[in-house]
């Protein structure tokens, strides 16, 4: 479980707090969707899960973030990487090896996994994302969707309990986005906790997460099952978010019909 207990954080050069007094829990076997306008603290939230904050990004931190009981201020990023795998937006920020297989082995080696485990881990993570056949290829020779899946494999190979993804659908085409949904659902069913930060609301609707969390100006505005959150059209629009089209249409229809009947009365 990842626990945020009354967490606030202010970046070193900033005056305002990026996240304010956040208390949240993330459990395994669940998919969480995190949405919010620019500057709402989404990226900051992710960075606090694997220790990048406070170890790499300096600033003022209040409260505690516990990952399976480990306090992120005390554990190192390398230790936390074995619990929380953070996948960034641009896969090309990671690649430096000659082959896909070598690339995937980097994580396990860096965090000090046992040699005996590493080989199995590589195979499992590549098969999980469907890239085992391409393991001899150079990472840069892959297509956009394949690169995205490779970046996820690089994190999976450390066998984390949680996988957190920052805007995984940016720049991906329709087929790639579909396969991402399947992958995330499989990972959840295998016992992992998945946290996705995204602004692609239609894709999120299709992913059908167990819970949606709406961030606004550093605080949690709302959280709950997707149906509840997406139906709150007014709340979403007020926070500069678009609800999925189907919810928008239903909301508008309801209003049209109520106006109609009010007109008839």
Residue 145 C-beta: closest distance to another protein, Å: 7
186 touches another protein by CB under 8 A: no
Stretch that binds another protein, among 74-82, 114-122, 213-221, 225-233 (CB under 8 A): 74-82
- Which of 24, 75, 86, 122 forms a contact with another protein (CB under 8 A)? 86
Q: How many residues bind another protein (CB under 8 A)?
A: 54
Considering the complex, state which of residue 21 and residue 95 has its C-beta at the smaller distance from another protein.
Answer: 95
- Please give the span between the terminal C-alpha atoms of the chain, in angstroms, as a whole number: 54
CA-nearest of 214, 178, 254, 219 to 34 is 214
Q: DSSP readout, 48-116?
A: HHTTHHHHTS-EEEEEEEEETTEETTTS-HHHHTTTEEEE-S-GGGT--SSSHHHHHHHHHHHTT--HH
Residue-wise over 222-247: b if at least 16 C-beta within 10 A, else e? beeebeebbbbbeebeebebebbeeb
Residue 93 C-beta: closest distance to another protein, Å: 4
From CA 239, how far away is CA 46, in angstroms rounded?
A: 20
77 touches another protein by CB under 8 A: yes
Residues in 128-147 that interact with another protein by CB under 8 A:
140, 143-145
Contact 4, 71 (CB under 8 A): no
Residue 253 C-beta: closest distance to another protein, Å: 7
246 touches another protein by CB under 8 A: yes
For residue 219, list its beta bridge partners. 216
Considering the complex, state which of residue 32 and residue 230 has its C-beta at the smaller distance from another protein.
Answer: 230
93 touches another protein by CB under 8 A: yes
CA angle 152, 3, 215 (to 5 degrees): 75
92 touches another protein by CB under 8 A: yes
Interacting residues toward another protein by CB under 8 A: 37-38, 47, 50, 52, 55-56, 77-78, 81-82, 85-86, 88, 90, 92-96, 106-107, 110-112, 140, 143-145, 154-155, 158, 170-177, 199, 202, 240, 242, 244-246, 248-249, 252-253, 256-257, 260
């Amino acid at each position: 479980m990842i626990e945020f207990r009354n967490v606030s954080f202010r970046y070193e050069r900033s005056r305002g707090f990026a996240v304010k007094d956040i208390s949240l829990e993330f459990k395994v076997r669940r998919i969480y969707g995190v949405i919010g306008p620019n500057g709402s603290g989404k990226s900051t939230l992710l960075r606090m899960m694997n220790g990048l904050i406070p170890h790499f990004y300096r600033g003022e931190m209040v409260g505690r973030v516990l990952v399976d009981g480990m306090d992120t201020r005390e554990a190192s990023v390398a230790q936390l990487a074995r619990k929380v795998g953070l996948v960034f937006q641009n896969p090309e920020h990671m690649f430096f090896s000659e082959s896909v297989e070598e690339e995937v082995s980097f994580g396990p080696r860096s965090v000090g996994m046992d040699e005996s485990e590493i080989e199995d881990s590589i195979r499992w993570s590549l098969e999980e994302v469907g890239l085992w056949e391409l393991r001899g290829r150079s990472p840069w020779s892959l297509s956009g969707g394949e690169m995205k899946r490779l970046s996820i494999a690089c994190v999976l190979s450390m066998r984390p309990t949680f996988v957190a993804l920052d805007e995984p659908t940016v720049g991906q085409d329709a087929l790639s986005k579909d396969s991402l949904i399947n992958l995330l659902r499989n990972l959840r069913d295998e016992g992992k906790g998945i946290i996705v930060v995204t602004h692609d609301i239609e894709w999120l609707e299709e992913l059908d997460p167990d819970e949606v969390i709406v961030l606004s100006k550093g605080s949690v505005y709302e959280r709950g099952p997707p149906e509840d959150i997406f139906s709150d059209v007014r709340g979403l629009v007020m926070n500069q978010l678009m609800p999925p089209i189907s919810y928008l249409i239903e909301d508008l229809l309801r209003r049209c019909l109520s106006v109609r009947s009010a007109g008839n009365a």
